[in-house]
Amino acid sequence: MTQEPLTLYKLIVLYMLEKVNFPLTKAQISDFILEKEYTTFLTLQQAISELIETGMVIATTVGNRTQLHITEEGESTLSFFENRISDGIKEDVKSYLKEKSIELRNEVSITSEYYRSTNGEYAAHLSAKEKGVTLVDITLSVPLEDMASSVCDNWQKKNKEIYKYLTEQLF
């Protein structure tokens, strides 16, 4: 593959990360770029890997998601080469982020995972963050794996109501 298109895909990823004040997951970025048919999945993964290798993006794993954060070096690089991204692509990115902002933020702010604990039961770890501040962090112990899975699924769906209930009862 020629370097020019790969460079554009890297710049699009940096542009997306720079336009939000929270991390985006690899899946979220992939959804946008693949939906717009800018490139293929494998090429995009290569672009993201190279951004991580060069220190322009930091990848952190939270649960089963890889969250991407732009670094100062990534921001600096973007400022020099942002003009290589067409106005049409920039508008596509801005529209996507505006339309999906709440959904994107919730995906990275509300986390849940479960694991088998040393006593043989399962622990469901539930967390909600806002602007990097942990609002709630709960671990529930349950006897069965399907119960732990259900707790995690329900946390994703009902976290606002649960948080509201907790604050009403505790304050």
Q: What is the pLDDT of residues 8-34, one digit of tens each?
A: 999 999 999 999 888 898 989 999 999
pLDDT at 3: 56
Query: Does 92 have pLDDT greater than 70?
Result: yes
Asked if 104 and 142 sit in the same domain, the reply is no
Asked if 90 and 13 sit in the same domain, the reply is yes
pLDDT at 146: 93
Asked if 147 and 100 sit in the same domain, the reply is no
pLDDT at 102: 74
Residue 97 contacts residue 122 (beta carbons within 8 Å): no
Q: Supply 21's token pair.
A: 């004040």
Asked if 93 and 40 sit in the same domain, the reply is yes
Asked if 84 and 19 sit in the same domain, the reply is yes
Asked if 33 and 98 sit in the same domain, the reply is yes
Asked if 66 and 135 sit in the same domain, the reply is no
Q: Tell me the CA distances in angstroms from 149 to 63, 111, 113, 121, 140, one per residue in order.
A: 13, 13, 8, 13, 11
SS3 136: strand
Rounded-to-integer distance, Cα 4 and Cα 18, Å: 21
> Which range of residues forms the domain containing residue 149?
110-170
Asked if 99 and 115 sit in the same domain, the reply is no
Residue 63 contacts residue 112 (beta carbons within 8 Å): yes
pLDDT 10s digits, 44-87? 999 999 999 999 999 988 766 788 999 999 999 999 999 999 99
52 or 1, which is more confident: 52
Query: Does 114 have pLDDT greater than 50?
Result: yes
Q: Supply 13's token pair.
A: 């990823």
In the chain, at which residue ranges do the beta strands (DSSP E only) sit?
A: 24-25, 57-62, 65-70, 110-116, 122-130, 133-142
pLDDT at 60: 86
pLDDT at 1: 44
CA 8, distance to chain mean position in Å, is: 21
Asked if 38 and 115 sit in the same domain, the reply is no
Residue 64 contacts residue 113 (beta carbons within 8 Å): yes
- Whether the model clears a pTM of 0.75, i.e. scores above it, the answer is no
Residue from 65, 83, 90, 84 nearest 3 by CA:
84
pLDDT at 63: 64
